[in-house]
Amino acid sequence: MHFKLAPDSRAKYEQLVNYGKKLKPLPRQYQTLENKVPNCVSQIWVRASIDKAKRIYFEAESDSMVARGVAAVLVEGLSGYPATDILKISPDFIELLTPEQSLTPLRSDGFIKVFRFLQKKASQAMDTEGISGSAKSFTQ
């Protein structure tokens, strides 16, 4: 995804919406309070699973097409990595993806909230599997 190549903010939002359309729907049974990203304007649900190689895979859903796009970017970017690697990532990278002129401050804040929730889910999956990690979590 190349937000910097989009000519204006409208094109950047269109990119997010189109990206969100590619996200595989999260089954309703996983759209629970436990999987809901807290304090977001839009409703966003995230589920994490871990494979035998200890890699985390995310699924997400949202009632907003832009939020769905945000979730899709993060799901694709973070899925397939060990939880310890996911927990080491600083949310600073989001500024590179979404310069302030690309998204409103509220949307940029939402991006960070979704990212931190994915980290929380990765940490929970790691704890469930009994994996020890020295990575610092950036979750709230």
Q: What is the pLDDT of residues 72-98, one digit of tens each?
A: 999 999 999 999 999 999 887 766 555
More confident residue, 97 or 10: 10
Q: What pTM was estimated for this model as a whole?
A: 0.81
Determine if residue 3 is left, alpha or beta; phi over 0 gives left, psi from -120 to 50 gives alpha, anything else beta.
alpha
pLDDT value at position 16?
Answer: 86
Catalytic (active site) residue 105: no
pLDDT value at position 98?
Answer: 53
CATH hierarchy code of domain 6-24+43-128: 3.90.1010.10
Instruction: Please identify which of the residues 16, 23, 37, 40 carries the catalytic annotation.
Output: 40
Domain ranges of the chain: 6-24+43-128
Mean predicted lDDT score pLDDT of the chain:
82
pLDDT value at position 99?
Answer: 46
Residue length of the chain:
140
List of residues 6+ apart from 132 with CB closer than 8 A: none
